[in-house]
Amino acid sequence: MAGDLTVIDVPPDARLPWVSRVLHMRARGHTGMHPRASKDHELHFISHGKLTLNLDGNEITLSAGQILYTDPTSRYGVSEAVPGDLSCFHCHFTLPGAHVSHIDQREWDGRSNNINALAAGRERLIVLPRLWKIRKPIELAEQFLTMMNDQRGLHQGDAIAAQARFLLLLRSISTDATEQPASKAANTTPSSRAHVARALDLIERKPGRSTLSSIASSLQIEPEYLARLFKQQVGCSLGSYATRRAMALAQERLLSDQTTVRNIARALGFPDALYFSRVFKRKVGYSPREFRNRTLR
């Protein structure tokens, strides 16, 4: 499998990733496994001890806290000499309808976000590292155990819950692997990420009223500093993101709410309906009323 990272892009009309089984392997009674080709995508997480694998003809040792992703093209086997304190989770899953690509870490670091998808709430990328050291291994082990319990199906809805927990698990791994790339570590700090997170929250409440100066004033930081942080972490200016988010929310409400354009403009924080309509037509290509009538016909 080429590339350090596997990028899984799930189209809106495709089925979501699907977990077929989750296993918990301990060393007791383990007899090893000859190298084989996997029919599924798999995750291998070491919660305790070490495990030596033969992966595509190469020997690799996984230690506690590390997670390995293998795709159906990989061949792996397990040595018979398994330490007695091993605790390892294996997760088999499929990606029906997803677009899968492999890139290296540097390519990902230089890749800009899909701002339109982000602002519209449609960002559907999962990024899995080939091999990664998890920052919070105890929490990840708990996620695996909870998912295993749900898969046993002892209560109503457990099978559905297992699938939901699996999607959250993928998201946890993806976030862990992509939010702290080495090339950006020196440029972002917990406080700077917190500033941007709070800015995004304020934009969500009233995107039509969100400006760089107003958000910076609410956060009690300099506008120039916020502008630099926002561009660095989100990939576009704060004003541009606020406008895109406002238009995405406006389209949702025009289709779902039987209220006036004036009320929608007011709810989104625009000073008046006329200004809102001008911005909407410039960004979407139709006036709000034209968009509603055209889409609902």
Of residues 68 and 124, more confidence is placed in: 68
Q: Do 161 and 30 have their domain in common?
A: yes
Mean pLDDT of the chain: 85
> Quick one: what percent of the chain has pLDDT higher than 70?
86
More confident residue, 2 or 50: 50
Report the CATH number that the domain containing residue 53 is assigned in CATH. Answer: 2.60.120.280
- CA quadruple 130, 131, 136, 139: dihedral sign: positive
Are both 157 and 27 inside the same structural domain?
A: yes
Both 149 and 273 in one domain: the answer is no
The answer to the question of residue 229 being in a domain is: yes
pLDDT at residue 293 greater than cutoff 90 = no
What is the model's pTM?
0.65
- CATH code, 239: 1.10.10.60
113-123 mean pLDDT = 67
37 and 136 both lie in a single domain: yes
Kindly state whether residues 48 and 145 are assigned to the same domain: yes
pLDDT one-digit tens code per residue, 80-105: 667 678 889 999 999 998 989 888 87
142 and 273, same structural domain? no
Residue 117 forms part of a structural domain: yes
Q: Are residues 232 and 137 in the same domain?
A: no
| Across 141-164, average pLDDT | 89
288 within domain boundaries: yes
Question: Whole domain around residue 247: which residue ranges?
Answer: 190-296
Are 214 and 282 part of one and the same domain? yes
Q: At which of 178, 204, 219 does a domain end?
A: 178
Residue 183 located in a structural domain:
no
Burial of 137 (0-12, 13-18, 19+ CB in 10 A): middle
Position 120 scores a pLDDT of 66
Clarify whether residues 246 and 162 are in a common domain: no
pLDDT recorded at residue 188 = 62
Q: Is the pLDDT of residue 3 over 60?
A: no
pLDDT tens column, 222-254: 999 999 999 888 888 999 999 999 998 998 889
Using alpha carbons only, give the angle 233, 127, 137 rounded to the nearest 5 degrees.
95
pLDDT at res. 77 = 85
Check whether residue 149 and residue 222 sit in a common domain: no
Can you tell me the distance from the alpha carbon of 282 to that of 51, in angstroms, rounded to the nearest whole number? 58
**Minimal CA–CA distance to 85: which of 59, 47, 116?**
47
Q: Is residue 205 part of a domain?
A: yes
Are 22 and 53 found together in one domain? yes
Final residue of a domain: which of 150, 178, 206? Answer: 178
Residue 185 included in any domain: no
184 within domain boundaries: no
pLDDT tens track for 50-64: 888 888 888 889 999
One domain for residues 165 and 63 = yes
Q: What percent of the chain has pLDDT over 90?
A: 42
The pLDDT tens digits for 158-203 are 989 999 999 999 988 888 877 654 444 445 677 888 999 999 999 9
In a domain, 218, yes or no: yes
- Mean pLDDT, residues 112-136: 77
| Domain tally, the chain | 2
